[in-house]
Structure 1
Amino acid sequence: MTATASETGPAVGDPDVEALESAEQVTRLIAHLDAIAPDLEAEVIGNERAGKLSDRTLELLRETRVPSMLLSKSAGGLGMFPTDALRVLERLCRIDASIGWIGGNWSTTGITLAYFAPETVKELLRKDQPLFGISSAPTGRAVPVEGGYRLTGAWSYGSGDLQADFVICPAIEMGADGKPLTGPGGSPVIRHFTVTHEAVNPKGNWDTLGLRATGSIDFSVEDVFVPESWAVNMSAPPAVADRQVSGGMWVTIPMLHTGFALGATRRLLDELTAFAQRPSSRGTKLADDVVFRAEVARREVAVRSARAFVYETWNDVDALLKAGRPLSRRNVTLVRASMIHIHEVARDLASFVFEKGGGTSLRSGTMQRWVRDTFAGCQHFIVSPIIYPDIAWELMGAPEDLVWGPQGLTSIG
């Protein structure tokens, strides 16, 4: 899970122009999001009914340039560092959970393209800020043929795939004998294969509790040719090691989930605070209840504490990336730990808001939607507390040959 940048940071005493420009982008992007928040919120109900983001929503997101945050300046992006991008995602996710979820996915365009050769990047960027969808489980088979592969398979939970320009499908590479290729230790060789939107057969199956507007469908691909240049290994370090993205995919992905939880917790507290100060039909206000206020205070402290842990962790990550140094296993441990913790806080808060919201949270509306969306976002496997034992193991000194993978510590071999 470590990657070495191809360049070091600026010399001691010299200004880090890229870092300064990245920080300046935060103010500009958040101001833009503040300005268009009413327009985005106007799309929310229609998005949920349609099961995907509207063309207008996608247009507004493109205008913000959130999809280009981590894309290198040489490729026309903003070249931002992860912590700066995280602050923008936190603001976006406060507007709407589904919009924030897709915006988070979309913001990883830069790290996604960092795995491809420069000429392939130019080819994929022919679309204006293309939206990449991706699935995590390698449930496909890729058979080598002249110039590339024939890809076949079916995937679930294709995050944002219904509206994606390109979909990245992890699959097991097959040998000429029709058997899976194996790497060190006998594990199958897994690569990530990029296909166009037209190659995807949507299967629906996104009748979910929350995040209904993300268009995260099940889908299949049937015997589609994928050129060799469109097949990469995203479990390895990026091919283009700009400082901003040199941490790799499995460091950057926690950024978007963390941004979701940061935005959701603040919005839940905002919704609850506003609700508590409105008189009920009996003329009483929930905010007048001293026990309720004490419980709100505890959750406010929990949210702020979890947020502080998040930014402490990511500031350390950024400091290393800016210095052109690789992340340590401990950095990744704390990234994963802070991500899981903020989701635990979010889950508890959503339960509290649902309980205290009474009939308002029971019925369809903004409060109920935020409760549902938060619960849905907390169901993702990457934020499961199941890896807490591995977090503790690493903190206590796990063997050095273990590295972080999607589902916990794993052997390098």
Structure 2
Amino acid sequence: MAHEVHKRIEEARAEFASLAEENERLGKLSDRTAELLRQTGVIRMLQPTDFGGYAAQPRDFAEAVMAIAAADPAAGWVAGVVGVHPWELAQMDRKLQEEIWGEDPDTWVASPYMPNGVADPIDDDNFTLSGRWPFSSGSDHCKWDFLGALKGDGSGTSMPVLPPEVMHVVIPRKDYQLIDDSWDVVGLCGTGSKDVVVDKAVVPKYRTVTQDDISNGVAAQRSGRPEALYKLSFGVMFPLGITAATIGICEGALAHHYEIQQSRVSATGVLSKDDPYILRAAAEAASEIEAARVQLIEGISRIHDTIAAGGEPTLQERSNQRRNQVRCAWRAVSALDEIFARSGGGAIRKSSPMQRHWRDAHVGLQHMIHTDGAVYHANSLHNMGLETPQGMIVVV
């Protein structure tokens, strides 16, 4: 039986699709699109039940994100990015959870996690934070932001400690500025992934967590939450929503391609439905995109089920999931390229949803979690039983 959120998404699918062009024009999600996301409950799927969430299976979350992204890539992307943050917040100090969700469980938190700032300790309980972070997706509709930062040495000069220590810092909207003209891009325009600027904001220690504690399961153990969901590693959970959105975008493009080919006549007068080459390419692409979906969902489900049964996934198993997650995105977008090239000249018109999905899918591949080099390198070392450089372990 489908999760109740899936049913609401299906009911709203046509409206999501109808708003996609407006979102692209605005350079952010429209208020109505944000309201639809709230009504579906997708952002609360990984949120703990004691704060109004579902604590859902990760596969249910991934499938919800795919369904939204198929209708509107920008909305699906925001759902995938913003929707994973409640999973990490559930592992942080309960006082912070009360601040964010205590009065409104539909409060959203944006990010980026890249350590573009320095969190300098000013005493035992507080830091001061400064920096500038690009790519804060959905930030216009969020009241808080997750920011990556290097821990400072406490000298007041914004010098990081050595060796570097990466922190995740959560700050309220009053403590940062969004740069409105900073999101000028060729794809995923409607995500509103603007730059965030922070200037000497004071951050209490309880609003921070080290990346090592999140990645190594220390924060999950400290949180005391019994659900297997919160014991999954950051390296397999954080990429899930982003890759799910990318696959969903490709699924939406495939649906548009089939719609185009039903009545399309080529310049040579041949009906697409009578062209075996177009039909073969479409079928092959459909299989590749479905393979991407199945592999992503099966992998995260297997790791979740191992934890739920009292086991602990090995580093090699987590590395295999990370490898497959990256490959799923590239496989799906490569399949999209094959059908876009055979969709005809009409597909490149700005009035065609096909071109938006094509652009958005390629921008989705630009996210750092889809960079394959280090992931594949580390995975090969894991599978050969060789020592993996410490810096590569963080990716799983």
Structure 1 residue aligned with 2:14: 38
| Aligned residue identity for 1:398 | L
| Aligned residue identity for 1:383 | H
Q: Could you list the per-position Cα deviations for residues 333-387 of structure 1 after superposition, in whole angstroms to 9, with x for gaps in the alignment?
A: 1221221112112221232233222322221021111111111101111112213
Superposed counterparts of 1:85-100, under 5 Å: 85-100=61-76
Q: Distance in 2 between matches of 1:112 and 1:269?
A: 33
Shift in CA distance, 293/281, structure 1 to aligned 2, threshold 3 Å: closer
- 8 Å CA contact retained: 2:166, 2:211: no
| Aligned residue identity for 2:73 | A
Quote how far apart the aligned CAs of 1:401 are.
Answer: 7.6
Task: Decide which of 381, 384, 387 is 1:396's aligned counterpart.
Answer: 384
Structure 2 residue aligned with 1:359: 345
Quote how far apart the aligned CAs of 1:145 are.
Answer: 2.2
Structure 1 residue aligned with 2:322: 336
| 1:145 matches 2:87 | no
Structure 2 residue aligned with 1:10: none
Quote how far apart the aligned CAs of 1:321 are.
Answer: 2.6
Q: Distance in 2 between matches of 1:281 and 1:382?
A: 39
Quote how far apart the aligned CAs of 1:399 are.
Answer: 1.9
| 1:296 matches 2:295 | no
Query: Alignment partner of 1:52: what SS?
Result: coil
Structure 2 residue aligned with 1:16: none
Query: Alignment partner of 2:198: what SS?
Result: strand
| 1:56 matches 2:43 | no
- 8 Å CA contact retained: 2:51, 2:105: no
Structure 2 residue aligned with 1:160: 138
- 8 Å CA contact retained: 2:93, 2:207: no
Task: Decide which of 185, 190, 197 is 1:208's aligned counterpart.
Answer: 185
- 8 Å CA contact retained: 1:101, 1:260: yes
Task: Decide which of 367, 370, 373 is 2:360's aligned counterpart.
Answer: 373
Q: Distance in 1 between matches of 2:164 and 2:45?
A: 33
| 1:226 matches 2:226 | no
Shift in CA distance, 219/27, structure 1 to aligned 2, threshold 3 Å: closer
Q: Distance in 2 between matches of 1:306 and 1:41?
A: 23
Quote how far apart the aligned CAs of 1:405 are.
Answer: 4.5
Q: TM (normalized to structure 2)?
A: 0.89
Structure 2 residue aligned with 1:73: 49
Query: Alignment partner of 1:397: what SS?
Result: coil
Superposed counterparts of 1:107-186, under 5 Å: 107-125=83-101, 126-146=103-123, 147-177=125-155, 178=157, 180=159, 182=161, 186=162
| Aligned residue identity for 1:317 | I
Quote how far apart the aligned CAs of 1:110 are.
Answer: 2.6
Quote how far apart the aligned CAs of 1:134 are.
Answer: 0.9
Query: Alignment partner of 2:304: what SS?
Result: helix
| Aligned residue identity for 2:27 | G
| Aligned residue identity for 2:370 | V
- 8 Å CA contact retained: 1:81, 1:245: no
- 8 Å CA contact retained: 2:250, 2:357: no
Quote how far apart the aligned CAs of 1:181 are.
Answer: 5.1
| Aligned residue identity for 1:334 | N
| Aligned residue identity for 1:397 | G
Structure 2 residue aligned with 1:4: none
Q: Distance in 2 between matches of 1:248 and 1:68?
A: 19
Q: Could you list the per-position Cα deviations for residues 87-138 of structure 1 after superposition, in whole angstroms to 9, with x for gaps in the alignment?
A: 2222222121110011112221331212321222111113342211111321
Q: Distance in 2 between matches of 1:378 and 1:179?
A: 33
Q: Distance in 2 between matches of 1:405 and 1:275?
A: 45
| 1:385 matches 2:372 | yes
Percent of pairs with identical residues: 23
Query: Alignment partner of 2:255: what SS?
Result: helix
Query: Alignment partner of 1:357: what SS?
Result: coil
Q: Could you list the per-position Cα deviations for residues 263-307 of structure 1 after superposition, in whole angstroms to 9, with x for gaps in the alignment?
A: 122212111111112133765322321122222222222223333
Q: Distance in 2 between matches of 1:199 and 1:57?
A: 26
Q: Distance in 2 between matches of 1:272 and 1:153?
A: 43
Q: Distance in 2 between matches of 1:359 and 1:235?
A: 50
Shift in CA distance, 235/64, structure 1 to aligned 2, threshold 3 Å: farther
- Which residues of structure 2 form unaligned runs of 5+? none
Q: Distance in 2 between matches of 1:384 and 1:154?
A: 22
Query: Alignment partner of 2:377: what SS?
Result: helix
- 8 Å CA contact retained: 2:118, 2:160: no
Comparing both chains, which one has the higher relative contact order based on Cα–Cα distances under 8 Å and sequence gaps of 6 or more? 1
Q: Distance in 2 between matches of 1:281 and 1:288?
A: 11
Q: Distance in 2 between matches of 1:187 and 1:378?
A: 31
- 8 Å CA contact retained: 1:268, 1:349: no
Q: Could you list the per-position Cα deviations for residues 236-285 of structure 1 after superposition, in whole angstroms to 9, with x for gaps in the alignment?
A: 22342432121133221121022113312221211111111213376532
Quote how far apart the aligned CAs of 1:179 are.
Answer: 6.4
Shift in CA distance, 405/207, structure 1 to aligned 2, threshold 3 Å: farther
Q: TM (normalized to structure 1)?
A: 0.86
- 8 Å CA contact retained: 2:42, 2:83: yes
- 8 Å CA contact retained: 1:180, 1:188: no
Q: Distance in 1 between matches of 2:166 and 2:256?
A: 44
Structure 1 residue aligned with 2:242: 257
- 8 Å CA contact retained: 2:381, 2:388: no
RMSD: 2.2
Shift in CA distance, 115/340, structure 1 to aligned 2, threshold 3 Å: same
Query: Alignment partner of 1:221: what SS?
Result: strand
